[in-house]
Amino acid sequence: MPSKINKIGVLTSGGDSPGMNAAVRAVVRTCAYHKLECMGIYQGYQGLIDNNLTPMNARSVKDIINKGGTFLKSARCLEFRTPEGRKSAFENVKKNDIDALVIIGGDGSFTGAMIFQKEFSIPVIGIPGTIDNDIGGTRFTLGYDTALNTITDAIDKIRDTASSHNRLFFVEVMGRDAGHVALNAGVGAGAEEILIPEEDMGLERLLESLKRSEKSGKTSSIVVVAEGDKTGENVFEIASYVEQNLPYYEVRVSVMGHMQRGGAPTCFDRVLASRMGVFAVESLMRGKSNVMVGINDDQITLCPLEKAIKGKSKIDEDLIRVSDILSI
Ligand code: ADP
pLDDT tens digits along 171-187: 999 999 999 999 999 99
Domains and CATH numbers, the chain: 7-143+265-311 (3.40.50.450), 146-261 (3.40.50.460)
Looking at residue 248, its pLDDT comes to 83
Choose which residue among 17, 42, 73, 81 to substitute to test ligand 1 binding: the one with the highest number of ligand atoms within 8 A of its C-beta. 81
Give yes or no: 316 in active site: no
**At 34, which amino acid appears?**
H
With b for 16 or more beta-carbon neighbours within 10 A and e for fewer, the 55-82 pattern comes to ebeeebbeebbebbbbbbbbbebeebee
- Compute how many other C-beta atoms are within 10 angstroms of the C-beta atom of residue 164: 10
- Check pocket membership of 130 for ligand 1, CB cut-off 6 A: yes
Distance 45 CA to ligand 1 centre (A): 9
Catalytic residue among 99, 132, 134, 229: 132
- Check pocket membership of 149 for ligand 1, CB cut-off 6 A: no
- Check pocket membership of 12 for ligand 1, CB cut-off 6 A: no
Q: Which atom of ligand 1 is nearest to the CA of 46?
A: 16
- Check pocket membership of 105 for ligand 1, CB cut-off 6 A: yes
Residue nearest atom 27 of ligand 1, based on CA coordinates: 112
**What are the residues facing 308 on neighbouring strands?**
none
- Check pocket membership of 116 for ligand 1, CB cut-off 6 A: no
- Check pocket membership of 7 for ligand 1, CB cut-off 6 A: no
Looking at residue 217, its pLDDT comes to 87
- Spatial separation of the C-alpha atoms in residues 265 and 288, rounded to whole Å: 28
- Spatial separation of the C-alpha atoms in residues 210 and 39, rounded to whole Å: 55
pTM for the full predicted model: 0.96
Residue nearest atom 9 of ligand 1, based on CA coordinates: 108
Residue nearest atom 8 of ligand 1, based on CA coordinates: 14
Per-residue pLDDT of the chain (328 residues; tens, 9 = 90+): 457 899 999 999 999 999 999 999 999 999 999 999 999 999 999 999 999 999 999 999 999 999 999 999 999 999 999 999 999 999 999 999 999 999 999 999 999 999 999 999 999 999 999 999 999 999 999 999 999 999 999 999 999 988 888 899 999 999 999 999 999 999 999 999 999 999 888 899 999 999 988 888 888 889 999 999 888 789 999 999 999 998 888 899 999 999 999 999 999 999 999 999 999 999 999 999 999 999 999 999 999 999 999 988 889 999 999 999 998 8
Looking at residue 10, its pLDDT comes to 98
Q: Which atom of ligand 1 is nearest to the CA of 107?
A: 4
- Check pocket membership of 108 for ligand 1, CB cut-off 6 A: yes
- Check pocket membership of 115 for ligand 1, CB cut-off 6 A: yes
Nearest to 275 by CA among 23, 105, 81: 23
Looking at residue 2, its pLDDT comes to 59
Q: Are strands 250-255 and 167-173 parallel, antiparallel or unpaired?
A: parallel
Distance 47 CA to ligand 1 centre (A): 14
Residue nearest atom 20 of ligand 1, based on CA coordinates: 108
CA angle 174, 135, 189 (to 5 degrees): 40
